[in-house]
Amino acid sequence: MATQLKTDTNRSPFISIIFLIFFSQTYLDAAFENVGISARPMGMGGSYTALATGANAITWNPSGLVGLNRPELGLNYFEIHDLVNYSFISLAIPIQPNHGIGFGLLSSSDLEELYQELILNIAIAQKIWETFQIGLNCEFLSSSASIDEIRVGSGRGIALDIGVLYTMQEDQVAIGFNLPNLISHVNYNRQKLKNAEATSYHETLNHELGIGIAFKLGLLSKKMSRGTLAIDYANGAPLIGLEYLIQNVNVQFGYRFTHGISRGPTMGFGYQFNNFRIDYAYVNGKYGSSTSVFSVTINDLRF
């Protein structure tokens, strides 16, 4: 997650300097960072690798695109510590019972719109066996940085994610595995400024790893049959989440045992009304930081 910066009202000079330094480096670790999209997964602390389905699966685990009966549309929005905003629209479409395809468009920018990123996702998934499915997500990456109205840098690239999902105990237990940025290549160009030479360079995005297990609590007791527990190990940090269904309402709780600012508890809830679902998540962090995530899902589009 991005770090919260305490600044005064006029932040443009400070951010401009940051972006100049940002585009003068060969390796840009913060570029196209995977911040976690959608309220329902974030309400569970991000422990969603083994639970990802439908429109959420595109970024959380593309193998979860298998199994839909109708096309599903997802709309997501959140701001990170009042500094960077993210908007994500996704569409998952079933293709026969054992195949699925998904499309997503993610845009992000700082509040002054000095730095912007755009990611186009195209994902496919297939069930190999009755209990095993695999998915691929191809990302087309674009970024631009500017100072006021002067464009000072841009980036273009591609990345490939791969995910698998294995179920057992009549789908009561699921094991997920996701590798974002398994293959990636991004070309950057810093525009020529006064007293500076134009440069171009490339980078490979940070490799990430997500392993998760989820199981229905009904396996332990019939009284808890509406509950689901999920545990993930993502990029060296454990994540844990719990979801419970109360009629048409889902309640989520989670905790992220990370070492950065994103460490801390999360919670959320969702309401399902016919084919329309709305979700909200409150994501807490260290140093008093917090983020609210909003999602809307239409899970029975009729084409």
| Cα–Cα distance, 162 to 92 (Å, whole number) | 17
| pTM of this structure | 0.84
| Cα–Cα distance, 188 to 7 (Å, whole number) | 28
Of the listed ranges 166-170, 192-196, 242-246, 284-288, the least confidently predicted one is: 192-196
Q: How much is the pLDDT for 105?
A: 97
Domain 12-216: CATH architecture, name and number where available: Beta Barrel (2.40)
Q: Is the pLDDT of residue 26 over 70?
A: no
Question: Which phi and psi (to 5°) does residue 87 adopt?
Answer: -130, 135
Q: How much is the pLDDT for 16?
A: 41
Q: How much is the pLDDT for 14?
A: 37
| Cα–Cα distance, 3 to 83 (Å, whole number) | 9
Binning pLDDT at 50, 70 and 90, where does residue 172 land?
very high
181: left (phi over 0), alpha (psi -120 to 50) or beta: left
Please name the amino acid found at residue 279: D
Of the listed ranges 37-41, 59-63, 147-151, 257-261, the least confidently predicted one is: 147-151
Greater pLDDT, 43 or 200: 43
Q: Is the pLDDT of residue 25 over 90?
A: no
Percentages (nearest 5) of helix, strand, coil residues in the chain: 10, 55, 35
Binning pLDDT at 50, 70 and 90, where does residue 4 land?
very low
Q: Is the pLDDT of residue 285 over 80?
A: no
pLDDT digits (tens, 9 = 90+) for 66-96: 988 899 999 999 888 778 899 999 999 999 8
| Cα–Cα distance, 261 to 278 (Å, whole number) | 27
Binning pLDDT at 50, 70 and 90, where does residue 303 land?
low
Q: Is the pLDDT of residue 256 over 60?
A: yes
The pLDDT mean for the chain works out to 84
Q: Is the pLDDT of residue 222 over 90?
A: no
Whose tokens are 């332990």? That residue is 220
Question: What percentage of the chain has pLDDT greater than the value 70?
Answer: 84
Highest mean predicted confidence (pLDDT) among 12-26, 39-53, 195-209 = 39-53
pLDDT digits (tens, 9 = 90+) for 30-39: 578 888 789 9
Average the pLDDT over 223-247 and give the result.
Answer: 92
Q: How much is the pLDDT for 13?
A: 42
Q: Is the pLDDT of residue 250 over 90?
A: yes
pLDDT digits (tens, 9 = 90+) for 88-133: 999 999 998 899 999 999 999 887 778 899 999 999 999 999 999 9
The structural domains of the chain, with segments of one domain joined by +, span 12-216
